Every structure is written in structure tokens, then in C-alpha cells.
Amino acid sequence: MTETEPTGPAAAAGGPEPAEEPALSYEQARDELVEVVRRLEAGGATLEESLALWERGEQLAGVCREFLAGARARLDAALAEPEPAEEAAGPEGAARAGGEQGGA
């Protein structure tokens, strides 16, 4: 194959979906997304190149959203677990740990 165009969703507009690409870490996806945005903001790309960059940026943003949603779920689960100090303090300590909910 002599094509030098990238494969992936950005190139899929004119062809079939490629095989699954290797998983990116959050940091890799974020850094690549920053680069895509920089290139789009710099201008100078053709319409086709800009569309390909936009599509790649959307894909990378989705990867980042998935990581952040997973992180939020982990934090929510950790915060939902009672801490040993709260258990020992009883209902009064748990109410203070959760913040004042009205009252004098």
C-alpha cells in the first residue's frame, strides 16, 4: 500500500472502518487532542485535512470523557464508603462530615 494518509476514524470518511487501534491512556489522548486543537487553530490546512483533524479531535475527546467518567465513578464510590472515623462518631459525626444541612 503506497498511501501516506492516516488510518482511523479521520480517514474513514472515504472508506471502511479500520481495525481497532491500540488503547490510549488519558494523558496520551489529552496530549494528542491539544495538538489537534493547536493545528486547527493555526489554520492553513485544507478542508479535508481540517475535517480529518476535527474527527480525530472528537474521537480523542470521547476517549478523555470515558476516562473522566470512570474516574468520577471511582471517586463517587470511594466517597460513598464510610470512613472509620465516621463509623465511630455515630450519626452526629456523620452529619458533621457531610456538612450542615440547615439548622441553627
CB–CB of 8/59 below 8 Å? yes
26: pLDDT strictly greater than 60:
yes
For 43-75, write each residue's pLDDT tens digit: 999 999 999 999 999 999 999 999 999 999 999
Q: Which residues contact 94 (CB under 8 A, 6 or more apart)?
A: 82, 86
pTM above 0.85, yes or no: no
Distance between CA atoms of residues 71 and 78, nearest Å: 11
Segments making up each domain of the chain, as ranges: 24-94
